[in-house]
Structure 1
Amino acid sequence: MTARPDDPAPNPHATEAQVQAALTDNKLAQVLYHDWEAETYDDKWSISYDERCIEYARGRFDAVVPDAPLPYERALELGCGTGFFLLNLMQGGVAKSGSVTDLSPGMVKVATRNGKNLGLDVDGRVADAETIPYDDDTFDLVVGHAVLHHIPDVELALKECLRVLKPGGRFVFAGEPTTIGNIYARRLGQATWKVTTEITKLPFLKDWRRPQEELDESSRAAALEAVVDLHTFDPTDLEAIASRVGAVEVRAKTEEFAAALWGWPVRTFEAAVPDSKLTMRYRLAQYKAWLGLSKLDEKVLRHVVPRQFFYNVMITGVKPGAAAK
């Protein structure tokens, strides 16, 4: 249930000098940024390990693998973050046991702690997705959420996924930004941050302003974010990469158009104001709005809007061999 004792320790407070060094060292940037985010990441993104997020994680899985005979025996998560995707998939009956890996020691620490608190059969390792530290044919399932766009060599990482999968094993990656979706999401987020941080300078809105040191630290993290987000994907191109490394039964699906246009300003606003202002009633209202817009995307807009305009892309493929799940 714990990370390996020989893994490096987290570094949650990067200095300005370290940030500057990371601007020319991508993997250092990945570690610093995600170590900085680890302890607050679940709150920032409203991540939980209850029915709401179990349903979300299982929904992403079922969207690209609607007929898998479950559960898988052993699963691996790459770029696990706080464990959101695999831990909720395990709670949703997708896998019996799991291993969480991330380049960030801070994220592995939080993910394994979350797994322990949930009573799940999970171990963790600090690991590079381009050189996965497990033997060939080890796992039945490899998953990841919002991780491929952080990996310098996506094709190499997918080759590694096939290597550690058993014949017939499957990989499922979700939450990856499309090229077009990333453009409007970033612009909406930047505009929302600027407006919110400027307006809350007004005296009568001072209670809505985070302390300046927190805003400054967020700005430093944002500078690293521009470095760690390496890729965006066209769904067809991502399918081609997965096929090129030898996967079969490859397919991509996109989601979130109206939901992304709404969600990015909301998430950015929430990051710019004190948590105390975000009541449970407010959070529930935003969640219901996102659900409604997601249904609009799925029921209506996906039939009229080209798939590359949606914000998120999911990809799955199978290692050739025995009958795939």
Structure 2
Amino acid sequence: MAAEHDLDPAPNPHATEEQVEAAWTDPKLANVLYHDWEAGTYDEKWSISYDERCIDYAVGRFKAVAGDAGPYEHAMELGSGTGFFLLNLMQGGVAKKGSVTDLSPGMVEVALRNGANLGLDVDGRVADAERIPYDDNTFDLVVGHAVLHHIPDVQAAFAEVLRVLKPGGRFVFAGEPTKIGDRYARKLGQLTWWLTTNVTKLPRLRGWRRPQEELDESSRAAALEAVVDIHTFDPAALEGMARSAGAARVRAVTEEFAAALFGWPVRTFEAAVPREKLGFKWAMFAYRTWQRLSAVDEKLLAKVLPRSLFYNVLITGTKPE
């Protein structure tokens, strides 16, 4: 049976000082406050779009771990954020109907608006991954992108995912940080942030410096990320969690080594300079370079390096018939 729930709460993009203080010892509250605060600018911050570029990315991640690409009749995204993964999978023909869920009311609101703007058949709920507010055997597919590392009890979330899946239904989670990958990505990000924010103090480069209040806000967000980012994963251990929850045909793969070494400094640099300074040509350079390095990772490095060295882990499995 589905967990009982009240009406969805309203977004809260302006947390009080008391709420922020409490969030330091409450990861779920921290996730709500942080993601409500970021909901309106999240797509811009992470260069998320709903066009061919991100459709190809989302469908590519799905196929990389699951093999096939549907179509599935009804899919739910767990921890949907603004709907990036599910909405682009739907546009790519992987799913026909969608349901977005997130612990953050602000994110659900933006995801539903994005779905409506795209003309997709999407509904949604505010949902705790450990108590998903849907009935047993509801969905043919459950997906998520960069969500498992925010959930306190990942194995409980896997059990809930299997409960709401129909027998034979599949789950696919992508974009989760590995233990080793997270270490070098964070170090690269911190170094890039320090270099960019200091170099742009030079008189000739001040036009490339974001206003101090925006930099301060980004620093506060980064500090709260230390609370909302709870886990990193060893691929084999993540497979074990899914199997222990009752999943069948479990498989984890990893990706992005050279691509991550390039991508994390680029993302951090983009966050530290005014967006209007970069433009379309920069965006295409960054994307095409990431694509080429991802191909190197897939065709060469994945054959010679341990999977634990790569930045992202993706996992799939099914509910037993």
Q: After alignment, is 17-26 or 274-283 more displaced?
A: 17-26
Query: 2:31 aligns to what?
Result: 30
Partner of 2:124: 124
SS of the residue aligned with 1:300?
Answer: helix
Q: Distance in 1 between matches of 2:165 and 2:6?
A: 26
Aligned residue runs from structure 1 range 116-195, under 5 A:
116-195=116-195
Instruction: Identify the residue that residue 228 of structure 1 maps to in structure 2.
Output: 228
1:124/1:5 CA distance change after superposition, 3 Å: farther
Instruction: Indicate the residue corresponding to 1:14 in structure 2.
Output: 15
Further displaced range: 58-67 or 231-240: 58-67
Q: Which residue of 2 aligns with 1:298?
A: 298
Report the CA distance shift for 1:14/1:197 in structure 2 as closer, same or farther (over 3 A): farther
Match of 1:71 in 2: 71
> What CA distance in whole angstroms lies between the structure 2 residues aligned with 1:162 and 1:104?
22
Provide the rounded CA distance (Å) in 2 between the counterparts of 1:291 and 1:43: 20
Q: How does 1:253-292 map to 2 (within 5 A)?
A: 253-292=253-292
| SS across alignment from 1:81 | coil
Q: Who is 1:60 aligned against?
A: 61
Cα deviation for residue 24 of structure 1 reads 1.1
Distance change in 2, residues 1:243/1:5 (3 Å):
closer
1:44 aligned partner: 45
Q: Gaps (5+ residues) in structure 2?
A: none
Q: Which residue of 1 aligns with 2:309?
A: 309
Structure 1 CA distance for aligned equivalents of residues 268 and 245 of structure 2: 36
Deviation of 1:5 (Å): 10
> Residues of 1 paired with 2:10 and 2:223: CA distance?
23
RMSD: 1.3
Which residue matches 1:199?
199
Residue type of the partner of 2:75?
Answer: A
| Matches of 2:212 and 2:179, distance apart in 1 | 33
Measure, in 2, the Cα distance between the counterparts of 1:312 and 1:168: 26
Secondary structure, in 3 states, of the residue corresponding to 1:11?
coil
What amino acid is the match of 1:111?
A
Hey, what does 2:240 align to over in structure 1?
240
Structure 1: gaps spanning 5 or more residues: none
Tell me the CA shift for residue 36 of structure 1. 1.4
10-19 or 284-293, which moves further after superposition? 10-19
Residues in 1 aligned to 2:30 and 2:215: alpha-carbon distance in whole angstroms:
19
TM-score scaled by structure 1?
0.95
Q: Residue 205 of structure 1: CA displacement?
A: 1.3
The percentage of counterpart residues that share the same residue type is 75
Counterpart check, 1:109 vs 2:109: yes
User: For residues 86-137 of structure 1, what are the alpha-carbon distances to aligned partners after superposition, in whole Å with 9 as ceiling and x for unaligned?
Assistant: 0000011111101000001111011000000000000011110000000000
1:255 and 1:246 mapped to 2: Cα distance?
Answer: 25
Distance 1:174 1:55 in 2: 14
Cα distance in 1, alignment partners of residues 212 and 9 from structure 2: 31
Length-normalised TM-score, structure 2: 0.97
Q: Distance in 2 between matches of 1:203 and 1:28?
A: 41
How far the C-alpha of 1:21 sits from its partner, in A, is 2.0
The one-letter code sitting in structure 1 at the alignment partner of 2:28 is K
Equivalent position SS for 2:11: coil
Distance 1:225 1:282, change over 3 A: same
**For 2:21 and 2:257, how far apart are their aligned partners in 1?**
35
**1:16/1:189 Cα in 2 relative to 1: closer, same or farther (>3 Å)?**
farther
Q: Once the two structures are superposed, what CA deviation does each residue of 1:232-266 show, in whole Å capped at 9, x if it has no partner?
A: 00000001111111111000000000000000000
Q: How many pairs were matched up?
A: 317
Equivalence for 1:96: 96
Secondary structure of 1:253's counterpart equals strand
SS of alignment partner, residue 266 of structure 1: helix
